[in-house]
Amino acid sequence: MHRTPAEGFCAADIAAQVGATLIGAPDRCVDRVASITSAGARDLAYFSGPRRGVNPKVCSAGIIVCRTQDTSLMPSQATLILVPNPQIAFIDIVAWMWPRQVAYSGIDRSAIIHPTAQLAENVAVGPLVVIGADCHIASGAVIGSGSVLGQNVCIGADTELVARVTVLDDCVIGARCLIAPGVVIGSDGFGLASDHGRWRRVPQLGRVIIGDDVDIGANTTIDRGTLDDTRIADGVKLDNLIQIAHNVEIGA
């Protein structure tokens, strides 16, 4: 899992990262993370509270992140890191141990970028990306390999389009979003009208507006609105393989 220091990560440093109380050997080191049921001596695990079928007493983890009220359930050999919410602390610990890595920096020479597109500093553009006219891409954004942006697309600061993401004309994505591979944003909604027995497409003239801190799972599709916009509010988290129809609003 990513790059780990040769000596591993020591308990004292881990506790300091999350402002935790430490019980046990402060110099105990770990190289990896694992579940409470499979962890070994060089692993860090977390325990959020009693669960049926889980006996932490038999866990072999070197370091366990847990709550103060659960210390009596822990194995004697483990160094304990005491926090109010072990799962949240675990998220922060892993982010410190192995910060998210971007596969490339700068603009790949195979990318096709329209001359009217505006890219801020520190934008990364991967291989075979296409960026259309009048796009605006804010600082720190990552446009992953094979992604396509239509015309007048706006991408917020520190947002990452991981790979093969399609964002069609006039759509807006906020800051700090994570868009997984294969996502399509702004395709036409399924709008049809019957004209004397013949189906005709209804023009889909709205946009897709996505707020800040939104995560969208792989191969999810979000249709543009018919007249008004399809909207995904700040902080929404979407799983893989979701189809969001035109004019849907999700979130506050």
Strands 192-195 and 198-201: antiparallel
> What is the torsional sign of CA 62, 63, 68, 70?
negative
Active site residue 196: no
Neighbours of 55 (CB within 10 A): 12
Q: Which residue has the tokens 């000596």?
A: 7
Amino acid at the residue 26? P
Catalytic residue among 114, 136, 196, 246: 246
Task: Give the C-alpha distances (Å, rounded to integers) separating 150 from 37, 136, 166, 206, 235.
Answer: 48, 11, 8, 14, 24
Of the candidates 232, 233, 150, the residue with the CA atom closest to the CA atom of residue 188: 150
The DSSP H or E segment spanning 66 is strand 63-66
- Strands of the sheet containing 243-244, edge to edge, are 112-113, 130-131, 148-149, 166-167, 184-187, 221-223, 243-244
Catalytic residue numbers, as ranges: 246
